[in-house]
Amino acid sequence: MKVLIADKFEKSGLDSLKAAGCDVIYQPDASGDSLVQALAESAAPVLVVRSTQVTDAMLDAGALALIVRAGAGVNTIDVAGASKRGIYVSNCPGKNSVAVAELTMGLILAVDRRIPDNVAELRAGTWNKQEYSKARGLFGQTLGLIGFGHIGQEVARRARAFGMPVLVWSRRFSEDPAARAAAADAFGIEVVATAAELAARADILSVHLALTKETRGFVNAGLLAHAKPGAYFINTARGEVVDYTALEAAARDKGLRLGLDVFAAEPSAATGAFTDSIVAQPNVYGTHHIGASTDQAQEAIAGETVRIIRTFKDTGRVPNVVNLARQTPATHMLVVRHRDRPGVLAHVFEYLRVAHLNVQETENIIFEGAHAAVARINLDGAPSARALDAMQSGNADILDLQLVKLR
């Protein structure tokens, strides 16, 4: 199986893919037109990317069956376009969580103790203990987490070790009271009802939202209006989930102190010029979108990427798929108990075709000894009673038919 890797990837991962029998095409600088060309020339069924953009137009260039994002999220991939073409999209959730949580805590400490300014003055030959002795300290300060996935949970663990009360707002807790209670018990947190309440009560706000249509611009002027004057604000998630114009205004007008690893408009290349008015403010500390960039995280992501591809190669199944339908249009299930012989299911499917019924999902379970099986066939409608009778009487290897209404 050919695997095209169009981003930087750990050597351990490359070696493991080759050991698994994959034909690895490593082009870490491929993007745009060069990626289209690589897809067309290689005809690789598997593409691995990190920050490289995969657009709708690219998906017709080759013979893709699977795209793996070697990282969390899938915001660099046109998932809707992949879904239309029956291309799996998978990622590596949770593998960089510790790395991002560590940077989050580092930014909180940097904001509180003004570590970058300390270092800059020392390097400039200035000793200023009187100024840099001023800090709040983190013990007893309330940390508010907007979002509580893998990264938010790792941040909560570390914050609790610092003696910080932790408040959490997450949309999924609003929808699942049982999950809310379980999380509160497991992590020693308090779950609040709204993001506005979180902002009003927190001394430090930290954003841990995945980027979706619902979360784009979620942290806006309305939410920041609830923040305490002088509160700390940390974003190690995605630049797009925050209205940076509103954040810059809040930093200026309310004295918010910011620790940012992501920005509204980042350079597409790993190095280059960067201009953003928000980083010119003295109460803003920034890093270069490096949250997941530790050796430990990259090795873990490489290992998970290899696991996904090996599973696909060996079984046809794909772990961590993000673009399968949660609910198909199926309204009925046809359960066919039959002898495990050639042509039985072809006979059933021919009747379904004539009836203009679409098969949404199907599975065929084999009994021990491989003499009999049960097929479960999800349909977008119901065969008539006459069609069912004809289907069963037309093949002696069909032992029983049952039609189940799903909804």
Which burial class, exposed, middle or buried, applies to 300 when counting CB atoms under 10 A from its CB (0-12, 13-18, 19+)? buried
Backbone angles phi, psi at 103, to 5 degrees: -65, -35
Q: State the catalytic residue, choosing from 289, 310, 332, 338.
A: 289
Report pLDDT for 203.
Answer: 98
Q: Which amino acid is at 66?
A: L
Residues 116-155 have pLDDT tens digits of 999 999 999 999 999 999 999 999 999 999 999 999 999 9
- 164 pLDDT band (50/70/90 cuts)? very high
Report pLDDT for 271.
Answer: 86
Mark whether 304 is an active-site residue.
no
Tokens at 92, concatenated = 């590596």
When the candidates are 2.10.60.10, 3.20.20.70, 3.40.50.720, 3.40.50.300, the CATH number that belongs to 2-95+296-315 is 3.40.50.720
Euclidean distance between CA atoms 388 and 321, whole angstroms: 35
Residue 365 has pLDDT above 90, yes or no: yes
Is the pTM for the entire model greater than 0.85? Answer: no
Residues 286-337 have pLDDT tens digits of 999 999 999 999 999 999 999 999 999 999 999 999 999 887 889 999 999 9
Instruction: Identify the bridge partners of residue 364 per DSSP, sorted by sequence position.
Output: 375
Residues 167-215 have pLDDT tens digits of 999 998 988 888 888 899 999 999 999 999 999 999 999 999 998 889 9
Report pLDDT for 165.
Answer: 97
Question: Does 2-95+296-315 match 332-405 in CATH topology?
Answer: no
Report pLDDT for 154.
Answer: 97
From the list 259, 261, 220, 262, the residue with the least C-alpha distance to 242 is: 220
β-strand pairing of 257-260 with 190-191: unpaired
Residue 269 has pLDDT above 80, yes or no: no
Report pLDDT for 84.
Answer: 94
- Long-range contacts of residues 379-388, Cβ cutoff 8 Å, at least 24 apart: 379/330, 379/331, 379/332, 379/333, 379/334, 379/352, 380/329, 380/330, 380/331, 381/331, 381/332, 381/355, 381/357, 382/331, 382/332, 383/334, 383/351, 383/352, 383/355, 383/357, 384/355, 387/351, 387/354, 387/355
Specify the CATH class of 332-405 in words: alpha beta
Euclidean distance between CA atoms 154 and 99, whole angstroms: 9
Mean pLDDT taken over the chain: 94
Q: State the catalytic residue, choosing from 266, 299, 307, 347.
A: 266
Report pLDDT for 257.
Answer: 97
How many other β-carbons are positioned within 10 Å of the β-carbon of residue 282?
9
Q: Which amino acid is at 96?
A: N
For domain 97-108+138-291, give the CATH superfamily: NAD(P)-binding Rossmann-like Domain (3.40.50.720)
* Number of residues that make up the chain: 407
Euclidean distance between CA atoms 194 and 196, whole angstroms: 5
Residues 227-247 have pLDDT tens digits of 999 999 999 999 999 999 999
Q: State the catalytic residue, choosing from 238, 257, 332, 338.
A: 238
Mark whether 238 is an active-site residue.
yes
Q: Where are the domains of the chain?
A: 2-95+296-315, 97-108+138-291, 332-405
Euclidean distance between CA atoms 218 and 74, whole angstroms: 18
